[in-house]
Amino acid sequence: MNTAQAKRVLETALLCSTQPVTVRDLRVLFDDALGADTLKALLEELQLDWAERGLELVSVATGWRFQSRPELRTFLDKLNPEKPPKYTRAVMETLAIIAYRQPVTRGDMEDIRGVTINTQIIKQLEDRGWVEVIGHRESVGRPGLYATTRHFLDDLGLSSLDQLPLLSSVEGQAAVLASLNPPQEDSTQASLSLEDAIEVADAVEAETLEAQGLTNMAQEIPDAAEGQHHD
């Protein structure tokens, strides 16, 4: 099989997949005849092949997927006018603390925010599949240690936590997470680029973001269905 044929197989498999596909799984397509490094090189070539098209090939936490480009989101939203679920400032700040300070206990989160965290806030993040308990701290009561999931990274279009911009304030971190929109259940919906999110964060660092403004930004995160297409 030549390079062009191999790329055609990879392209078809990824376009037809409803979930990100790992390099290990992609090797099965070729009966392990192609090594991981070769496949990664082919995937990078595919990225270039699609550079001028409406879809882009990206690597996220759980594998490779096709998704629509961020600049087309405003047009595609017209096909899906339903309002996304609303997330309050408290939810976004709690998520930001977990994402940037993990692993953390509920007590850690309350110390950072300076207020008691409602149980429903954490439950909402768990139900969404964004956070989970990964262990317990060896202290009084053995409180649970919360961390973000790979599903969280997939929804934000990231391959690792290292891609989150470094910010000092919880408000800035929450604003970045609020501006990173997870894709909808098919490839016609894309997330904002990380560069766009950093621009939002820079604005937050420059001046204090009012509570209502942050809440409004948080509302823009759309719902990602479990059966996300090209997620």
Q: What is the pLDDT of residues 134-163, one digit of tens each?
A: 999 988 889 999 999 998 888 888 888 888
Asked if residue 143 has a cis previous peptide bond (ω within 30° of 0), the answer is no
Same domain, 71 and 100: no
Bridge pairing between strands 131-136 and 63-68: unpaired
Q: Looking at residues 211-226, what average pLDDT do you find?
A: 39
> How far, in Å, CA of 218 to CA of 2, rounded?
47
Same domain, 67 and 93: no
| Least confident window among 5-19, 84-98, 104-118, 125-139 | 84-98
User: For residues 38 and 220, which has the higher predicted lDDT (pLDDT)?
Assistant: 38
**Which of 41, 57, 77 finishes a domain?**
77
- Of 186, 177, 111, 113, which is closest to residue 148 (Cα–Cα)? 177
Q: How many domains does the chain have?
A: 2
At residue 166, the pLDDT reads 72
For the chain, give the percent of residues with pLDDT over 70. Answer: 70
Q: Which residues contact 205 (CB under 8 A, 6 or more apart)?
A: 167, 168, 169, 172
- Predicted TM-score (pTM) above 0.75: no
**Which of 54, 77, 100 finishes a domain?**
77
Residue 70 lies in a domain: yes
**What CATH number does residue 9 fall under?**
1.10.10.10
Same domain, 60 and 108: no
Same domain, 20 and 121: no
For the chain, give the percent of residues with pLDDT over 90. Answer: 36
Q: What is the pLDDT of residues 27-45, one digit of tens each?
A: 999 998 889 999 999 999 9
Same domain, 108 and 200: yes
Q: Looking at residues 180-196, what average pLDDT do you find?
A: 43
**Which of 77, 98, 113 finishes a domain?**
77
Domain range for 14 is 3-77
Q: Looking at residues 182-192, what average pLDDT do you find?
A: 41
- Of 172, 191, 209, which is closest to residue 97 (Cα–Cα)? 172
Tokens linked to 25? 């799984």
Q: What is the pLDDT of residues 198-208, one digit of tens each?
A: 444 444 444 33
Distance (Å) of CA 141 to CA 12, 137, 145, 196, 210: 51, 9, 12, 42, 37
The string of DSSP letters for 5-74 reads HHHHHHHHHHHH-SS-B-HHHHHHTTTT-S-HHHHHHHHHHHHHHTTTSSEEEEEETTEEEEEE-GGGHH
Residue 209 lies in a domain: yes
